[in-house]
Amino acid sequence: MAKQPTKKRSVKRKGSEKFGQKRLDIRNAKIKDIPGIANLVRRVYEDMPAYTHGEIRGQINNFREGCFVALLDDEVVGYCATMQLAEALAFQDHDWDEITGNGYGSRHDPTGDWLYGYEMCVDPKVRGVRIGRRLYEERRALAEDKDLTGIVFAGRMPNYRRFRRRVEGPQDYLDKVVEKKLHDPVLRFQMANGFEPERILEGYLPEDKASQSNAVMMVWRNPYVERDQPVKKRLPRGVEAVRVATCQLQARQVADYDEFMRHVRYFVDVASDYEADFIVFPELFTLMLLSFEEKELSPVEAIERLSEYTPRLRTDISEMAMRYNINIIAGSHPTRMDDGDIHNVAYVCLRDGAVHAQEKIHPTPNERYWWNIKGGDKVEVIQTDCGPIGVQICYDSEFPELSRRLADEGARIIFVPFCTDSRQGYLRVRYCGQARAIENQCFVVLSGNVGNLPNVGNMDIQYAQSCILTPCDFPFARDGIAAEATENVETLTISDINLADLQWARAEGTVRNLADRRFDLYRIEWDEDGKHPGKPRPRREPLGPSTIGGG
């Protein structure tokens, strides 16, 4: 074999350049770029489904280093997404959904030796700036910086449909393009950028009608790395410590709103003194606000009354988060929405002042019957200063599709505020929370109410044992429990968790539930705005008896 170069070539890295009066920036994609990326993809691929915001969020969260944007005067005009994969996976027969984890980039493997490109699009209205070439240069520079063996991707062949009567099949078409007997603008561009065609991938992207679902596996081998056989990079066992507090809150009678907030503030203050990054309160923890009503309200009246506190509660909890420098998952609170329905909503108040809302997707039959609570329609991760997190309110944790969606979008901690009246109800949430931690290789934090609440309908007794759960593998606690509270006692439970252990477990753990999914057999498809525009979504009411009990 010829001697390999010993000095890496100089590649122009991310930065700004001026073109006349316009400025071009090439940099890693950020969460704030998501709307611009989504609009760009819609402009470029008019005949194919666009990405949802959740899919782009997952691509960035799962491997930010491999996602690049080109901005011309702050408008997104180019985007490319990549991930690391092992050679065996990158070069086997596959389709786009399978290799990308259904579009989320969730199969990124930090121990993989190849960079796999699965998105590259440039605004067709922007010409003469060589944006595509610049994005390819960023990919090559990334592969060189990480000493990867090379880059592989499946390229489109958009002129195939036009010339299919003149060729004997996709391989013959590729041969003729290579021999310059036929012209394909995409393949020509890729070969001009140093990529060599390897073989045809049939059925790669069914939505690509111009290519007749076919793609060409294109390969660039890093000339600065010499390997006789594939290698697997090891992932250092780093430390990314986050301190989490879960508040097991005693339901009690209070004299007024201010007394209720004093109880909340006490636990926030204590968690802040312990330098916790997060504190989570239980589901429906604001029902204590009904205890000072002059008479017991009917369930419907009670929920309506609680909803009146929403603006004040959001403001006060947000100010508390900033004052005490802690991210607060404010349990959940009934809220009347713009369409008039009452939803059970978790308000997440971050210490930078941002406020997010996650609605409960699945109200229990009891909630629906007594309180007329409706289910929300969206679940997505929330970006924090400690990385992306997810929130699932009680019953939602018993539906594994929701947690999987959050994990695909990059969530490493899922907070579960819950409210259960019996040990059986609690254990449903507890066992499902442990299952979600294992199957998504993430941390799950449970927070519940304890005690009783006289004069408040449907909140007679509470049962809880709040806890912080982990995957079950060598880096974690022996029994998959980082910490847990004493049953039915008001307390604050605090634990340090290492988010870097999750990355190690996902890449090199005893089992790798996320990476080992069989996307060739099954996958989850979400019906949401932007994915299936115009498709009606009828509201589904929960089935079952209207008996007491939750979880």
Catalytic residue numbers read: 283, 360, 394
State the DSSP H helix or E strand holding residue 303, giving kind and residue range, or none if neither: helix 299-307
Tokens 């930010």 — which residue? 64
Enter the tokens of residue 277.
């990054």
Amino acid (1-letter code) at residue 203: G
Q: Mind spelling out the 3-state secondary structure of 72-84?
A: ECCEEEEEEEEEE
Give the burial class of 236: count Cβ atoms within 10 A of its Cβ; 0-12 exposed, 13-18 middle, 19 or more buried: exposed
169 Cβ contact partners less than 8 Å away, ≥ 6 residues apart? none
Amino acid (1-letter code) at residue 388: P
- Inter-residue contact 437 to 443 (CB < 8 Å): yes
499-503 long-range CB contacts below 8 Å, 24 or more apart? 499/240, 499/241, 499/242, 499/386, 499/387, 499/412, 499/413, 499/443, 500/237, 500/238, 500/239, 500/240, 501/237, 501/475, 501/476, 502/412, 502/441, 502/442, 502/443, 502/471, 503/110, 503/235, 503/238
Give the burial class of 240: count Cβ atoms within 10 A of its Cβ; 0-12 exposed, 13-18 middle, 19 or more buried: middle
Phi-psi region of 130 (alpha: psi -120 to 50; beta: other; left: phi over 0): left
Enter the tokens of residue 289.
């606000």
Amino acid (1-letter code) at residue 95: D
Packing angle between helix 170-178 and helix 185-192, nearest 10 degrees? Answer: 50
- Inter-residue contact 180 to 188 (CB < 8 Å): no
Q: Of 80, 97, 49, 102, which Cα lies nearest the Cα of 404?
A: 102
Q: Mind spelling out the 3-state secondary structure of 214-232?
A: CEEEEEEECCCCCCCCCCC
Enter the tokens of residue 195.
């990529």
Q: Which residues, listed in sequence order, are joined to residue 79 by a DSSP beta bridge?
A: 69, 121
Enter the tokens of residue 75.
């408008």
Q: Could you give the dihedral angle defined by the CA atoms of residues 251, 253, 259 and 263, in that order, rounded to the nearest 10 degrees?
A: -20
Q: Of 408, 428, 409, which Cα lies nearest the Cα of 418?
A: 428
DSSP secondary structure code for residue 286 in this structure: G
Amino acid (1-letter code) at residue 530: G
DSSP secondary structure code for residue 474 in this structure: T
Compute the half-sphere exposure of residue 34: CA atoms within 13 Å on the CB side of its CA.
16
